Amino acid sequence: MNQKATEPEDTKSVVIRITGDSGDGIQLVGAQTALTSALMGNDFSTFPDYPAEIRAPKGTTNGVSGFQIQIASDHVATPGDEVDVLVAFNPAALVSNLGQLKPQGTVVVDVDAFDARGLRTAKLESNPLEDGSLDDFHLVEAPITSQTRLAVKETGVSHKAATQSRNFFAIGILFWLYSRDPEPTLNYIRGKFDETIAKANEAALRAGWNFGETTEAFPRNFNLPATTVQPGIYRNITGNEALAYGLVTAAHLSGRELFYGAYPITPASSILHKVSQLSDCGARTFQAEDEIAAICAAIGASFGGAMGATGSSGPGIALKTEAIGYAVMLELPLLIINVQRGGPSTGLPTKVEQTDLFQAVMGRNGEAPLPVLAASGPGDCFDTVVEAWRLACKLMTPVMVLSDAYTANGAEPWCIPELSSLEPIDVQHPTSVPGSSPFQPYARNDFLARPWALPGTPGLTHRIGGIEKEDGSGNISYDPINHEKMVHLRAKKVEMAQQLYSSTTVFGESAGELLILSWGGTLGACREAAVKAQKAGRSVSHLHLRHLNPFPVELGNILRSFKTVVAAELNDGQLRQLLRAEFLIDVQGLNKVRGEPFLVRDITKCIEVHLSINNTSHRGAA
């Protein structure tokens, strides 16, 4: 028998995936692992993967909930392609997730769940622990349920409560395996649960730790040295939390109160929850009777001088469409957030896609352009919303902000910005009319923006609406020449956004063989793949776009500087089509529409394919 190593071995990164029933407390295990790792100075990226059903039948593959986390000693941008350690609470969880585990990876199963009943509910004909299907992996059979029950016996909790402490036993194993400090989780337990339950959970965690330490199944454990990052105060943040904080911060920077109107929808609802918790900061939320009322109330709020904002996901945005066009016509500042999910229709409510880009850029009747921005990750949601509101106020226009289910629920460490260091958003409201001339609600400034005259201002009474307006006076006008002029003015105004963007920088050489182009929540995978390729001496650059409408002014020249441009997106080629139409460049596509994020190796493979095509055609030319 091998002697167990006593000192943990240093390692650079680990990918852990915890899986079980959606009622097993899987997300809690993930969240505690993330928090502890953050406190220990590691970088991480998480991916909660859960079904739309709140409590699907126990033990079935339909109800499997998962949480993946990559913890690293270096900067990390994705939750990882391949899993090093898979924890499965039952047979269904094991078989649904085994495909993610890398060869020779460790799989920890709760053997107690692999009885005849467990196998039957998972619809398995043979026991995967015995039929050889785990031969390529390092299997650790842990009696999680029975050991937990034994460990918590002294606390006197019920049989059911004892079983529910299982997830803390799993935390114990993982924390021992990767030398995580148990104190933050123990503090959490003591603060969250009543005394008896807390004692049971603590006992379960300690029993799990001891199991890891004593079982021969783990030959050794590991240590993840801390990462070096920029100084500051950090916290964990999910994309939706960052959107909520960004909204309230943008309201603060522009000196107004936030009105956030929303209707419950996955995966955007948690923005509404978070903003509702910020009422002490002047934020007002409105859970409306439907998606349309949510945006219309936000438009009413903007008309009154507040920061009107609404958030939803694709199907809800579809319902808001008429009102978005209306806001384009009114030329009022407004934010519309779309946390994209799998579509069309109800689609895959909890899964990630980037299939609403066309909807964002073009999905309205009439010529109704508006600026569209996309957040590149959880923390970036904050900056994107602040920038979007800056544009909305400067240009007096609705602005669409795109996030996605992956970004919304994923968490990462976030350096909390110092409020005083953020540039204020300057907003002017006219207070009088020069001379005796009547007020011109559709007069325009250098940015072609009209004045935001607020009700309550004497002398500026005016009426606005969705009917075409006469240039300047804003009076109803059906004049054909005026209509075309107004269509062009609104379009030109939106183009002015280009002048407000910070410059676009390419990661890597500014010209070369291959440019990987990405937008939204796929930044991490694309950047990691580009870094790898560049380290291997390949001529690969990466450009990540935040501004999808209008595109940055220098984009055309950048694209023309590369032999091949590949737009990598979680749709069937929407950015690619927009780029082709705009620049007449034969942009290639890397597309995935499976409700899953990109893996780094998806991008790497694409890079290899395109570089080898280029090499072949070089030889052909020679």
518, β-bridge pairs: 544
Q: Least distance from C-beta 215 to another protein, angstroms?
A: 31
Place of tokens 């309205």: 364
Q: Least distance from C-beta 235 to another protein, angstroms?
A: 5
Place of tokens 């909890």: 350
Rg of the chain's alpha carbons, rounded to an integer? 27
Site membership for another protein, residue 288 (CB under 8 A): yes
Helix (H, G, I), strand (E, B) or coil at 115: coil
HSE, side-chain direction, 13 A CA sphere, residue 506? 23
Site membership for another protein, residue 432 (CB under 8 A): no
Element (H, E) at 286: strand 284-287
Q: Least distance from C-beta 387 to another protein, angstroms?
A: 18
Binding pattern for the stretch 26-65 against another protein, x by CB under 8 A and - elsewhere: ---------x--xx-x------------------------
Q: Least distance from C-beta 326 to another protein, angstroms?
A: 5
Site membership for another protein, residue 465 (CB under 8 A): yes
Alpha helical stretches, state H, 304-404: 314-330, 357-362, 378-395
Residue 189 CA, distance from chain mean position: 28
Q: Least distance from C-beta 615 to another protein, angstroms?
A: 44
Of residues 241 through 260, those in contact with another protein by CB under 8 A are: 245, 248-249, 252, 255, 257, 259
**Cα dihedral across residues 382, 274, 402, 343: positive or negative:** positive
From candidates 467, 560, 616, 618, binder to another protein by CB under 8 A = 467
**Segment lying near another protein (by CB under 8 A), choices 47-55, 63-71, 278-286, 489-497:** 278-286
**With 0-12 CB in 10 A as exposed, 13-18 as middle and 19+ as buried, what is 198?**
middle
Element (H, E) at 275: helix 269-276
Closest CB to another protein among residues 156, 232: 232
Q: How many residues sit close enough to another protein to count as binding (CB under 8 A)? A: 72
Closest CB to another protein among residues 9, 183: 183
Q: How many CB atoms lie within 10 A of CB 162?
A: 22
Closest CB to another protein among residues 138, 284: 284
Q: Which strand ranges, in their side-by-side order, compose the sheet holding 512-519?
A: 540-545, 512-519, 562-569, 588-591
Of residues 60 through 99, those in contact with another protein by CB under 8 A are: none
Closest CB to another protein among residues 328, 575: 328
Binding pattern for the stretch 160-199 against another protein, x by CB under 8 A and - elsewhere: ------------------------x---------------
Element (H, E) at 71: strand 64-72
Residues belonging to the chain: 622
Closest CB to another protein among residues 82, 257: 257
Site membership for another protein, residue 326 (CB under 8 A): yes
From candidates 108, 111, 207, 323, binder to another protein by CB under 8 A = 323
Alpha helical stretches, state H, 83-154: 91-97, 116-121, 144-152
Closest CB to another protein among residues 300, 347: 300
* Phi and psi torsions of 595, nearest 5°: 75, 15
Closest CB to another protein among residues 1, 419: 419
From candidates 267, 308, 521, 589, binder to another protein by CB under 8 A = 308
Read off the DSSP letter of residue 21: E
Closest CB to another protein among residues 284, 580: 284
With a CB cutoff of 8 Å and minimum separation 6, the contacts of 603 are 516, 525, 526, 528, 529, 530, 568, 590
From candidates 9, 459, 572, 594, binder to another protein by CB under 8 A = 459
Of residues 327 through 356, those in contact with another protein by CB under 8 A are: 330
Site membership for another protein, residue 289 (CB under 8 A): yes
Closest CB to another protein among residues 94, 271: 271
**How far is it, in rounded angstroms, from Cα 406 to Cα 597?**
7
With a CB cutoff of 8 Å and minimum separation 6, the contacts of 240 are 267, 268, 270, 271, 274, 339, 381, 403, 408, 409
From candidates 2, 3, 104, 230, binder to another protein by CB under 8 A = 230
Closest CB to another protein among residues 22, 302: 302
Closest CB to another protein among residues 76, 294: 294
Of residues 473 through 492, those in contact with another protein by CB under 8 A are: 475-476
Site membership for another protein, residue 290 (CB under 8 A): yes
**How far is it, in rounded angstroms, from Cα 570 to Cα 354?**
5
Site membership for another protein, residue 457 (CB under 8 A): yes
Site membership for another protein, residue 461 (CB under 8 A): yes
Tokens standing for 444? 């325009």
Of residues 376 through 415, those in contact with another protein by CB under 8 A are: 415
Closest CB to another protein among residues 231, 537: 231
Q: Least distance from C-beta 31 to another protein, angstroms?
A: 11
Short-list 61, 27, 20, 444, CA closest to 270 = 27
Q: Least distance from C-beta 229 to another protein, angstroms?
A: 6
Q: Least distance from C-beta 416 to another protein, angstroms?
A: 5
From candidates 48, 261, 398, 595, binder to another protein by CB under 8 A = 261
**How far is it, in rounded angstroms, from Cα 586 to Cα 589?**
10
Helix (H, G, I), strand (E, B) or coil at 514: strand
**How far is it, in rounded angstroms, from Cα 564 to Cα 586?**
8
Q: Are 155 and 207 in contact (CB under 8 A)?
A: no
